């Protein structure tokens, strides 16, 4: 183990330098929701391609209605109608009107639509279509109730840029622009391995000295939540050969490999030596608590993150290093969780020169808007419930002995997506 302890920021930068964006794949636009586009998307047509009505009503020439009032109503002859699948191709001449439905193309000659509710319709077959008479008691403004052609975009315009995350509305927009299939970066396959002779599968009743593997599912969930395709490689004992065999199998089929356990310098900790032998160790300790003993390197060229076994340390290590890496591999450009400043409600004492990420909850006073932060009572890294309940990691930077109640501190909002506005 090297003597050098690097900062979390430096460690993250090293991880991000050693990953590559994943190859592109094509998905139906709706399936890409939440994912960044791998390439700009352009529209092949004007959106909308034609001027259309914003209302059900009558397409008219405003000049005809210039003097319309209660005292002097104007009656126009209805010469046609526009309904779904029925397009009126003629022209609206002076003295005429065409019945029109929302979204239908505005016929030539008309320059406004008057909504149905304020028009008095008589005659014809009672449908209000051709053959009827329509009476108007007020003028209309040119352009009224008409959505111009190209309001949203013009043919050839970029409607969504590479890196932009597809929303539900965006999937609709892409599809109306002719981009029924979008290019995204495929999910990295992230291999998860639990290392420890004391670990038993979830279905087993642990005997004395044994514990159920909690990190396996926790890290699988964290990988899924980061938009990866997680793959569980099971539990291996603290056996040098067994670990080596599992890790070498993982790098064959995975884009990123994560192990938990066996990462410190204990008697049975073989992880770092393995990375050294089969690849390259890029760092093996960071100034962070929980999660100091983290090995990162390349094994046969595949990024490898060896987290310590303490469950909360493994989760925080994944959050700080693996999550941004996976997101970057998928093409996400926003890699930072929102940071929130909040007043600490109690004293926080630290005796080590280390970056701390304490499990805590931020709350905002609904009246004053002031944010306060309260830590979980225990920061023991064996505990998962405290992390489960936390909505933030309260940061105590290196060189600070802690906080006095009332001090402002920075909190990493692990409950909010990267780039979210507070």
Nearer to Mg ion, 159 or 192 (CB): 192
Residue corresponding to tokens 């008309």 = 110
CA atoms of 313 and 288, how far apart (whole Å):
9
Tokens of 314: 């493994």
Smallest CA-to-CA distance from 146 within 58, 14, 64, 269 is with: 58
From the number of C-beta atoms within 10 Å of its C-beta (0-12, 13-18, 19+), residue 261 rates as buried
Site map 214..253 versus Mg ion, x via CB under 5 A: ----------------------------------------
Residue corresponding to tokens 């280390």 = 354
| 3 state SS of 189 | strand
CA atoms of 67 and 275, how far apart (whole Å):
86
| 3 state SS of 136 | strand
Residue 290 touches which of Mg ion, ligand AMP, none (CB < 5 to 8 A by kind)? none
Residue corresponding to tokens 């709350």 = 363
The 10 Å Cβ neighbour count of residue 249 is 14
With binding defined as CB under 5 A, does residue 107 bind Mg ion?
A: no
The helix or strand, by DSSP H or E, that contains position 298, with its residue range, turns out to be: strand 295-299
| 3 state SS of 207 | coil
With binding defined as CB under 5 A, does residue 196 bind Mg ion?
A: yes
Residue 192 CB, shortest distance to Mg ion, in Å, is 16
Residue 237 CB, shortest distance to ligand AMP, in Å, is 11
Nearer to Mg ion, 36 or 261 (CB): 261
Residue 198 CB, shortest distance to Mg ion, in Å, is 7
DSSP 62-98: GGGGTT--SSS-EEEEEEEEEBTTB---SB--TTEEE
CA atoms of 208 and 205, how far apart (whole Å):
10
With binding defined as CB under 5 A, does residue 261 bind Mg ion?
A: yes
Q: Are 338 and 413 in contact (CB under 8 A)?
A: yes
Q: Which stretch binds Mg ion (CB under 5 A): 59-67, 96-104, 255-263, 399-407?
A: 255-263
Q: Which stretch binds Mg ion (CB under 5 A): 102-110, 151-159, 303-311, 379-387?
A: 303-311
The 10 Å Cβ neighbour count of residue 306 is 31
Residue 318 CB, shortest distance to Mg ion, in Å, is 17
Residues 6+ apart with CB under 8 A from 134: 58, 75, 76, 78, 97, 119, 120, 121, 128
Residue 198 touches which of ligand AMP, Mg ion, none (CB < 5 to 8 A by kind)? ligand AMP
Q: Which stretch binds Mg ion (CB under 5 A): 88-96, 258-266, 286-294, 334-342?
A: 258-266
With binding defined as CB under 5 A, does residue 311 bind Mg ion?
A: no
Nearer to ligand AMP, 53 or 381 (CB): 381
Nearer to Mg ion, 162 or 237 (CB): 237
Nearer to Mg ion, 43 or 259 (CB): 259
Residue 194 touches which of Mg ion, ligand AMP, none (CB < 5 to 8 A by kind)? ligand AMP
Where does 226-270 have alpha helices with state H?
A: 240-253
Q: Are 362 and 372 in contact (CB under 8 A)?
A: yes
Residue 379 CB, shortest distance to ligand AMP, in Å, is 15
Binding site for ligand AMP (CB under 6 A): 194, 196, 198-199, 211, 213-216, 260-264, 266, 308-311
Residue 43 touches which of ligand AMP, Mg ion, none (CB < 5 to 8 A by kind)? none
Tokens of 103: 């979204």
CA atoms of 131 and 133, how far apart (whole Å):
7
Nearer to Mg ion, 185 or 285 (CB): 285
Residue 211 CB, shortest distance to ligand AMP, in Å, is 5
Residue 201 touches which of ligand AMP, Mg ion, none (CB < 5 to 8 A by kind)? none
Residue 202 CB, shortest distance to ligand AMP, in Å, is 10
CA atoms within 13 A on the CB side of 408: 6
Residue 183 CB, shortest distance to ligand AMP, in Å, is 37
Nearer to ligand AMP, 42 or 276 (CB): 276
Residue 281 CB, shortest distance to ligand AMP, in Å, is 17
Residue 192 CB, shortest distance to ligand AMP, in Å, is 10
Which residue minimizes CB distance to ligand AMP?
309
Residue 246 touches which of Mg ion, ligand AMP, none (CB < 5 to 8 A by kind)? none
Where does 348-401 have alpha helices with state H?
A: 385-389
Q: Which stretch binds Mg ion (CB under 5 A): 118-126, 192-200, 277-285, 286-294?
A: 192-200
Residues in touch with Mg ion (CB under 5 A): 196, 261-262, 309
């Amino acid at each position: 183990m090297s003597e050098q302890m690097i900062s979390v920021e430096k460690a993250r930068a090293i991880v991000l330098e050693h990953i590559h964006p994943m190859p592109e794949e094509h998905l139906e636009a709706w399936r890409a929701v939440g994912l960044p586009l791998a390439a700009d998307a352009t529209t092949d047509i004007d959106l909308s391609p034609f001027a259309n009505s914003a209302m059900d009503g009558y397409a008219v020439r405003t000049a005809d209605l210039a003097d319309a009032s209660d005292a002097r109503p104007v009656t126009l002859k209805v010469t046609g109608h526009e309904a779904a699948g029925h397009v009126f191709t003629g022209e609206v001449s002076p003295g005429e009107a065409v019945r029109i439905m929302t979204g239908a193309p505005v016929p030539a000659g008309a320059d406004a639509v008057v909504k149905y509710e304020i028009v008095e319709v008589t005659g014809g077959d009672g449908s209000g279509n051709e053959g009827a008479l329509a009476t108007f008691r007020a003028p209309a403004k040119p352009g009224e109730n008409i959505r111009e052609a190209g309001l949203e975009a013009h043919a050839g315009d970029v409607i969504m840029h590479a890196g932009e995350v597809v929303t539900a509305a965006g999937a609709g927009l892409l599809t109306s622009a002719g981009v029924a299939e979008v290019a995204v970066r495929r999910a990295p396959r992230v291999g998860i391995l639990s290392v420890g002779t004391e670990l038993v599968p979830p279905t087993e009743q642990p005997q004395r000295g044994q514990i159920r593997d909690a990190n396996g599912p926790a890290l699988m969930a964290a990988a899924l939540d980061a938009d990866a395709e997680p793959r569980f490689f099971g539990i291996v004992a603290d056996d040098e050969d067994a670990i080596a065999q599992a890790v070498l199998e993982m790098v064959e089929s995975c884009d990123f490999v994560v192990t938990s356990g066996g990462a410190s310098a204990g008697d049975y900790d073989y992880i770092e030596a393995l990375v050294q032998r089969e690849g390259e160790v890029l760092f093996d300790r960071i100034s962070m608590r929980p999660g100091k003993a983290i090995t990162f390197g390349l094994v046969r060229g595949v990024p490898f993150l060896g987290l310590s076994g303490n469950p909360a340390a493994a989760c925080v290590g994944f959050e700080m290093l693996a999550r941004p890496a996976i997101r970057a591999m998928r093409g996400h450009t926003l890699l930072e969780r929102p940071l929130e400043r909040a007043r600490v409600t109690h004293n926080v004492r630290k005796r080590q020169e280390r970056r701390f990420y304490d499990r805590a909850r931020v709350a905002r006073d609904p009246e004053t808007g002031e944010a306060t932060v309260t830590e979980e009572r225990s920061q023991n890294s064996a505990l998962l419930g405290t992390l489960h309940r936390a909505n933030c990691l309260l940061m105590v930077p290196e060189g600070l002995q802690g906080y006095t109640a009332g001090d402002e501190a920075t909190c990493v909002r692990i409950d909010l997506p990267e780039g979210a506005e507070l």
